[in-house]
């Protein structure tokens, strides 16, 4: 076993290429600090998990994901239940899991978290066996995610998401869904279904206020029978979380969520499309050891 050793997995395409630029600066600062620089740049998409798995087998006790929420999701799937720690250098489009953890934006402060940060045992979500760290969704948000992934980043991830959301909502026909959670069944034309481990997505949207990383529960937002123009009026409220007070938005809690629909629907998790309905979500309690600057107090 390599004592207190970190291995960096770098996704160069995260953030539309921003990640590689950030990594070059991180690498220079690590060398200036005379800290070991063990890393690998992923040769193609969806190879983060394989590289992280190899690093764990080699004895590294900390895997540092350099990328966005999708990169973190892939690394977390490998580290779940392993006892290894996940460090994060956020460099994607939204970086919402880093926001939930309260990670600093300053690179030296981030490197301090990697080397001397606190360890929190965080819940993960599971979708038919695959893990996610933050928020999964079905409905218009999945359409938005697919459109954002195809788009060019305008100014930053938050602005890109907002502009894409406006265009997508205006053209979206909400499907009929059946959602079972916490012993309840909800049926309706659902615009947004968010199964949340953390509070934020979409580059700072506080979609599910109250979601906690250590409570063993999903907090599930269901927005149903919402008209398109009504949805646009609600959209600005999502950044503060005030949308949840609207009469057509409800939050439920439970450790398992099942979803069916009247037509084929994609499922997104942490900004990547990962499956299709029908689907079951389950909580994996405190499955991930993640580095953070201070305890969340949650």
Instruction: State pLDDT tens for residues 24-53.
Output: 999 999 999 998 899 999 987 679 999 999
- pLDDT of 246-293, one tens digit each? 999 999 999 999 999 999 999 999 988 889 999 999 999 999 999 998
Separation of alpha carbons 209 and 197, rounded Å = 10
The contacts of residue 183 (CB under 8 Å, 6+ apart) are 254
Band (1; pLDDT cuts 50, 70, 90)? very low
For residue 278, say if its preceding peptide bond is cis, omega within 30 degrees of 0: yes
Distance CA 249, CA 243 (A): 7
The position carrying tokens 């602005």 is 159
More confident residue, 168 or 18: 18
Helix (H, G, I), strand (E, B) or coil at 1: coil
Task: Give the count of beta carbons closer than 10 Å to the beta carbon of residue 57.
Answer: 8
DSSP 153: P
Distances (CA, A) of 149 to 28, 74, 129: 29, 17, 24
Q: Which residue has the tokens 């760290």?
A: 133
DSSP character at residue 283: E
Question: Which DSSP helix (H) or strand (E) runs through 268?
Answer: strand 266-269
Tokens of 280: 């079951």
Task: Identify whether the C-beta of residue 113 lies closer than 8 Å to the C-beta of residue 87.
Answer: yes
Segment 224-240 shows an average pLDDT of: 86
| Confidence class for position 2, pLDDT limits 50, 70, 90 | very low
Give the pLDDT score at 151: 63
Domains and CATH numbers, the chain: 6-124+288-292 (3.40.50.10330), 132-284 (2.60.200.40)
Is residue 231 predicted with pLDDT exceeding 90? no
Question: How many CB atoms within 10 Å of residue 269?
Answer: 28
Q: What would the DSSP string read from start to end of 156-205? A: SHHHHHHHHHHHHHHT--PPEEEEEETTEEEEEEEEEEEEESSSEETTTE
**Which residues is 180 bridged to in the sheet?**
185, 258
Q: How far is CA 89 from CA 14, 139, 153, in A?
A: 11, 30, 19
pLDDT of residue 232: 83
């Amino acid at each position: 076993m390599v004592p207190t050793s970190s291995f960096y997995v770098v996704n160069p395409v995260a953030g539309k290429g921003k990640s590689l630029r950030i990594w070059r600066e991180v690498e220079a600062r690590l060398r200036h600090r005379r800290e070991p620089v063990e890393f690998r740049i992923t040769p193609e998409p969806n190879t983060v998990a394989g590289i992280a798995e190899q690093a764990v087998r080699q004895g590294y006790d900390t895997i540092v994901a350099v990328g966005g929420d999708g990169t973190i999701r892939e690394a977390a799937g490998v580290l779940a239940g392993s006892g290894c720690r996940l460090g994060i250098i956020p460099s994607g489009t939204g970086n919402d899991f880093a926001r939930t953890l309260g990670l600093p934006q300053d690179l030296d402060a981030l490197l301090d978290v990697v080397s001397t940060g606190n360890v929190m045992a965080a819940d993960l979500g599971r979708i038919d066996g695959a893990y996610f760290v933050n928020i999964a969704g079905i409905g218009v948000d999945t359409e938005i995610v697919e459109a954002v992934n195809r788009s060019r980043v305008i100014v930053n991830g938050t602005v890109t998401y907002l502009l894409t959301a406006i265009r997508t909502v205006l053209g979206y026909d909400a499907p009929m869904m059946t959602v079972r959670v916490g012993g309840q069944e909800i049926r309706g034309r659902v615009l947004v279904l968010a199964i949340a481990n953390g509070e934020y997505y979409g580059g700072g949207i506080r979609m599910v206020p109250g979601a906690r990383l250590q409570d063993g529960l999903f907090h599930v937002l269901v927005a149903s029978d919402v008209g398109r123009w009504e949805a646009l009026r609600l959209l600005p409220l999502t950044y503060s979380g005030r949308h949840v007070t609207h009469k057509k938005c409800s939050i439920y809690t439970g450790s398992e969520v099942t979803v069916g629909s009247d037509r084929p629907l994609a499922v997104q998790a942490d900004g990547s499309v990962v499956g299709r309905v029908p689907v079951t979500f389950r909580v994996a309690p405190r499955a991930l050891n993640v580095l953070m600057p201070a305890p969340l107090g949650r």
